[in-house]
Amino acid sequence: MDMIERLEKIMTLIEAHPEGLSGRDLSEACGVPWGTMKQDLKALAFSPDYTIPLYTDHDEDLDESEENLLKPEVKWFLGTAEKRFTPVHLNVREALGVLGTLEILREENALKEGLRQKILSGFDLGEEVTYRYIKGEFTPLDPIKGETFSCIENAIRGSRRMTITFKGRVIKVDPLGIVYYSRLRKWYLVSRQGETIKNYNLNNITEVSETNEGFVYPEGFSLKTWFGPRWGMEYGELLQVKVRFLNRSQTLAKMRKDIAHRRSELTTLEDGSVLFQDDIIGVNEFISWILGFGSAAEILEPVELRELILERVRSTLENYSKNKYLSL
C-alpha cells in the first residue's frame, strides 16, 4: 500500500468512527509502524497541500504544538464524520477545499457568493448574517442552537442591551455579534461596554438576559475587520511586527499557509528569505507561532517582542542546563 492509498484509508477509517481513533489504532489498521503513521498524519493535518477538517482530543490544551498532537495515544476525529455530502454533491474534502479557494480570491461577485452560500447551506449554518463570523480555517459544522444564542441574536436584532454573568460577574453590554473560532472550536460573544469592545467565551457565560434599554449599533462596524489583526482571540494592544523567515525546507510554505487569511506584507530578500510585516493583536499566541519555526524565524521589530522571545528561549535553556534529572 503506497502513501496515497494509505491516506485515503486513514480518512475512511476516521470518517467511519465518529467516536475517534487513536494514532495507534490507525497504525494497526493500516499495518504500518507508528513512525510511518506519524508521517501520514502529519501530511494530512499540517501539509499546505491538504485542507481537511481533522482535529484531535488534545486541540484545546494550552500547549498544542505539532509534536504534542503527533503521539500514538492522541485520538483523531473528522469534523464532518456524519455529513458526507453537501447539496452540490461535493464530498467533505472537496467542499472545504472549494471554500478555502474562494477565500483566496480577492474579487467579490455574485457567482462567488452564490457558490459559497450553497456550500455553507450543507453545513446547517442557517441564515448568513453580518453579526456572525467564523474565525479560522474550518467552518463550524453544528447549527447554532441553545437559549444563549437566541437571546443574543434577539438582542442584536432589537438593538437591546444585555446583562451577562461572566465568570461570576454581572456585566451590562451592547451585543455586537457572535464569533466561532475554529482553532479552539469555541463560540464568543463580541460586545461593547462603554467605549471598549471585547469578546467573551460563551463557555464562561452562565446567564444572559435582554434589558429594555436600547443602543445604537456602531456605524460601519465589522466583526471581520475588528478581528483582522488578532492572533487568536487574545485581547491587547496593536503591535507592528517585522519577522524574517529563512528559506528552509517547508518554512516558507507553512508560513504562507498560516497567514493566507491575513493582509500581511511579504517581501522576498536577496538571500531568499522572506520579510513578514503585519499589525497584530495577541502577543502570546503570536510568540507561540513564531517559536514553532525554531531558528528559521527571527523577530526584527519591535524590540520588546524580541525580548519576550529571548525570555522564553532562556527559560527553555534553563530546563536543559540543570542536572537534576540525569540521575533518574
Has residue 202 been placed in a domain? yes
Task: Tell the residue number behind the cell numbers 448568513, with chain if given.
Answer: 128
Has residue 85 been placed in a domain? no
Instruction: Report strand pairing: 169-181 vs 132-135.
Output: parallel
Residue scoring higher pLDDT (174 or 178): 174
How far the first Cα of the chain sits from its last, in Å, is 42
Give which of 17, 11, 67, 62 is closest to 42, Cα–Cα: 67
pLDDT of residue 120: 60
Judged by DSSP in three states, 38 sits in helix
Task: Show the CA angle centred on residue 253, arms to residues 269 and 69, nearest 5°.
Answer: 135
Number of domains the chain is built from: 3
Work out the average pLDDT over 98-126: 62
| Cβ atoms 69, 58 nearer than 8 A | yes
Q: Please give the share of the chain, as a percent, with pLDDT higher than 90.
A: 21
Has residue 114 been placed in a domain? no
The verdict on pTM exceeding 0.85 is no
Exposed/middle/buried for residue 293 (C-beta within 10 Å: 0-12, 13-18, 19+): middle
- Residue 305, domain extent: 239-320
**Given 170, 202, 225, which residue is the final one in a domain?**
225
Residue 133 pLDDT exceeds 80: no
Q: Give kind and range of the element (H or E) at residue 226.
A: helix 223-227
Compute the mean pLDDT over every residue in the chain, rounded to the nearest whole number. Answer: 79
Has residue 232 been placed in a domain? no
Residue 83 pLDDT exceeds 50: no
Could you say which DSSP state residue 308 is in? H
Residue 327 pLDDT exceeds 80: no
Same domain, 31 and 65: yes
pLDDT of residue 88: 44
Tell me: the pLDDT tens digits for 228-276? 888 888 878 889 999 999 998 788 988 988 887 788 899 999 999 999 9
**Given 17, 51, 78, which residue is the final one in a domain?**
78
Same domain, 268 and 219: no
| Cβ atoms 46, 36 nearer than 8 A | no
Tell me: the pLDDT tens digits for 278-294? 999 988 889 888 988 88
| Residue 261, CB-side half-sphere exposure with 13 Å CA sphere | 17
Instruction: Report strand pairing: 239-245 vs 169-181.
Output: unpaired
Residue 85 pLDDT exceeds 70: no
Residue 201 pLDDT exceeds 60: yes
Band the pLDDT of 50: cuts 50, 70, 90.
Answer: low
Same domain, 255 and 278: yes
pLDDT of residue 125: 41
Work out the average pLDDT over 62-86: 64
C-alpha dihedral, 273 to 279 to 282 to 284, nearest 10°: 30
**Given 192, 225, 258, which residue is the final one in a domain?**
225
Q: What are phi and psi of 86, to 5 degrees?
A: -95, 170
Has residue 66 been placed in a domain? yes
